[in-house]
């Protein structure tokens, strides 16, 4: 089925390269008919993001969510060039590499503040900046991870700020519900990207999930993208304030099987 999102305009943040989860989401939204607007954090990723925007017949604008000025400029550009947004995808996180290993109690005040600013507060900042551009009935979604509610060694402060992000999703859903705007989170299973590889022993996480998840596999950006299509479309018209797991069922396991014997 294609055309589910015909006539809708979707802004997708967080494309860094072709492996980014946001790339899979943008491709799937486009495949189902949405017009695509991408943002890039800075010159380091500009060329890659502009290339994807051309491929998807879309546009690309700079946006650093740490800067209110950058967010205001983005809102003005979207207003002038697109008029409105029907879908907003937050696919952004940042945690200092030294805080993605070892003991969580060694996290510095500054490291915590940066992680919270870019990974949690940015959803509030982005929504506030774009509030007048978002159409009534729009769909907002943010990417999160299981380490928010369960202990995942080495994910550490990233899990703490994802908990804040998921709570933000619920409060925004309440604020914006009177305009028919829905706000949800997608909790993706581990996927190898530039960000996730910063987590110590990330490869081992991939192997563990593939072995233990009910579906016995890892997930892909395309898997996540197809759930984003559902959340962007009228198929999920009464679905808001929730966290949707796209993790091959891993989050539902309470006990893990013994590794298969090799003898
Ligand atoms: O296993 C994974 N990869 C999972 C990722 C499992 C579950 C959730 N997630 C989440 C991440 O926490 C994040 O919220 O998905 C989202 C996207 O992550 P990703 O696709 O794994 O990572 P990546 O391809 O690195 O994109 C994240 C991007 C940044 O990339 P780089 O590599 O350049 O740091 O977030 C963007 C940036 O493009 N970003 C910003 N964008 C605007 N302003 C900023 C900023 N200040 N900081 C980072």
For residue 216, the domain's CATH number is 3.40.50.720
- The answer to whether position 1 is within a domain reads no
- The answer to whether position 254 is within a domain reads no
Residues of the chain with pLDDT under 50: none
Q: What is the CA(122)–ligand 1 centre distance, in A?
A: 12
Q: What is the pLDDT of residue 262?
A: 56
pLDDT in tens, 115-129: 999 999 999 999 999
Q: pTM here?
A: 0.97
Phi, psi of 18, rounded to the nearest 5 degrees: -75, -10
Q: What is the pLDDT of residue 259?
A: 67
Q: What is the CA(257)–ligand 1 centre distance, in A?
A: 31
List all residues whose CB is within 6 A of at least one atom of ligand 1.
Answer: 13-14, 16, 20-22, 41, 45, 63-66, 91-94, 118, 143-145, 188, 190-191, 193-196
- Give the number of domains in the chain: 1
Q: What is the CA(53)–ligand 1 centre distance, in A?
A: 18
Domain that residue 49 falls in: 9-247
Catalytic positions, please? 145, 155
- The answer to whether position 3 is within a domain reads no
- Alpha-carbon distance 132 to 91, whole Å? 21
Q: Which atom of ligand 1 is nearest to the CA of 142?
A: 14
Give the DSSP per-residue string, 34-103: -EEEEEESSHHHHHHHHHHHHHTT-EEEE--TT-HHHHHHHHHHHHHHHS-EEEEEE------GGGSSS-
- The answer to whether position 261 is within a domain reads no
Q: Which atom of ligand 1 is nearest to the CA of 192?
A: 3
pLDDT in tens, 156-189: 999 999 999 999 999 999 999 999 999 999 999 9
- The answer to whether position 26 is within a domain reads yes
């Amino acid at each position: 089925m294609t055309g589910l999102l015909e006539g809708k305009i979707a802004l997708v943040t967080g494309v860094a390269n072709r492996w980014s989860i946001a790339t899979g989401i943008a491709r799937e939204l486009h495949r189902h008919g949405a017009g695509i607007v991408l943002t890039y954090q800075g010159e380091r990723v500009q060329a890659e993001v502009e290339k994807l925007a051309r491929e998807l017949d879309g546009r690309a604008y700079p946006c650093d969510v740490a800067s209110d000025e950058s967010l205001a400029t983005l809102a003005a550009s979207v207003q002038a060039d697109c008029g409105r947004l029907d879908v907003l995808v937050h696919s952004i996180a940042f945690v200092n590499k030294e805080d993605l290993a070892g003991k969580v109690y060694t996290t510095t005040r500054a490291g915590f503040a940066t992680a919270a600013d870019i990974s949690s507060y940015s959803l509030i900042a982005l929504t506030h900046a774009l509030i007048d551009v978002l159409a009534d009935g729009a769909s907002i979604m943010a990417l999160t991870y299981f380490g928010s509610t369960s202990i995942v060694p080495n994910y550490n402060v990233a899990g703490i700020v994802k908990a804040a992000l998921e709570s933000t999703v619920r409060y925004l859903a309440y604020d914006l519900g009177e305009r028919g705007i829905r706000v949800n989170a997608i909790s993706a299973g581990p996927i190898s990207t530039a960000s996730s590889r910063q987590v110590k022993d990330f490869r081992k996480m991939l192997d563990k999930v593939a072995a233990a998840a009910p579906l016995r596999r890892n997930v892909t950006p395309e898997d996540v993208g197809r759930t984003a299509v559902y959340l962007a479309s009228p198929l999920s018209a009464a679905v808001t304030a929730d966290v949707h797991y796209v993790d091959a069922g891993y989050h539902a396991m309470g006990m893990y099987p013994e590794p298969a014997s090799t003898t």
